[in-house]
Amino acid sequence: MNELTNKFWPFIRLLIFPYLFFMFVLLYPIEYYVHAPGGIVEVESLITIEYNEDKVIEGSISSTYIMSINRPTFFQFMISEFSDYTYSNVITGSYSNYTNEEINQISYLDKATSVDASIIVAYQQAGMINSEIIIDYYPIVLVFGKAPYLSHYNDINFGDEFIKMIGDGGVEVVDFLQIGNNIGEATAYEFTFKNKNGEYTRILELDEEENKFGITFKRYLLVNKENTFPNYQERPSNIGGPSGGLMQTLAIYNMLVEQDVTKGLKIAGTGTINYDGTVGYIGGTEQKITTAYLNKVDLFFIPFHDPNYYYDNYMEALRACEKYGIDPTGWLIPVSSFADVLDYLNGVE
């Protein structure tokens, strides 16, 4: 048997090595992300409101999404490099410590909280016209980030609600901003969180080098549906991220008011929405521009910030238009707030 193996080993090696290389290329993940054009989805297919049921909306309002692959295989990465419409880069920051599943959890948390932000802003704006429209909401503090050194890492999930911490000297801390001020000489503290199954307590240890617990908290506003009128319904969606906030706000507002703000146009756009109605930046600008253009939208709204801002989607969008031969005149509309969107549409003939 050994003689036979030795005799045919050169031929076996010729077969095995290419196979192993092929499997490496096909299956091995790399620490990159890839963005590619996706599609547009009408907000009305995701959110419906039991109000103005006889109203006819002649146009449409859609959010724009892209296809995103975290840690693609080497094969997927190479394929993406042959397309002019894709963008790839190294995964950096805290995301480099998260699994793909955890990144998806953050994305869906961003989506869920952006819907509440859109409802709050749209209802407040419509309530200025119609006093029947009422919005009620409350603050909540959720877990938004976890460091690798966090004790009980797998027991604490993204989206868990912070309830309290027992600080130095047994002081009860319910304001997450005061956590740092109530850390004494102890190396561990008692935290209480709340997930979908109810409250639970964890003793979290301080990292010796960082002197931190390893949790990032973020404050959100959630809608109190029982005290909000008119009622609304959300439908399940597999689209994550907060960048649909601006278009969600516009579509919800259009369902509440009597006038059809679409003017019969196919409207799309991108941008996060803040609670004060200002518009925040987004990622994947180039891919969203091409997605909207290929879907033949009439107007595309893009976040705009002054030159002193550290990131300007509008300038990036203009470069994308130039790259792909798209005329942005009258099509690409820069906005800094939801009010800017309404002002522009009010001026459309």
pLDDT given for residue 13 in this prediction: 58
> How far is residue 39's CA from residue 349's CA, in Å, rounded to a whole number?
28
Alpha carbon distances (Å) from 82 to 19, 50, 88, 90, 316: 24, 47, 12, 18, 22
89 pLDDT above the threshold of 70: yes
Please state whether the predicted TM-score (pTM) of the whole model is above 0.85: yes
Residue 4: pLDDT over 60:
no
- Give the whole-angstrom CA distance, residue 122 versus residue 243: 16
The answer as to CATH 3.30.470.30 being correct for domain 37-68+101-133+230-346 is no
Give me the pLDDT at residue 348, please. 86
| pLDDT confidence tier of residue 21, bands split at 50, 70 and 90 | low
In the predicted structure, residue 189 carries a pLDDT above the cut 90: yes
Residues 95-139 have pLDDT tens digits of: 889 999 999 999 999 999 999 999 999 999 999 999 999 999 999
Domains in the chain: boundaries: 37-68+101-133+230-346, 141-219
**Strand residue runs (E) in the chain:** 32-42, 47-49, 60-70, 87-90, 137-146, 161-166, 172-173, 188-195, 198-205, 215-223, 232-234, 266-269, 272-273, 279-280, 299-303, 332-335
Name which of 237, 298, 253, 239 is nearest 57 in CA terms: 253
Structure tokens given for 130: 């119609």
Give the pLDDT band (50/70/90) at residue 327.
very high
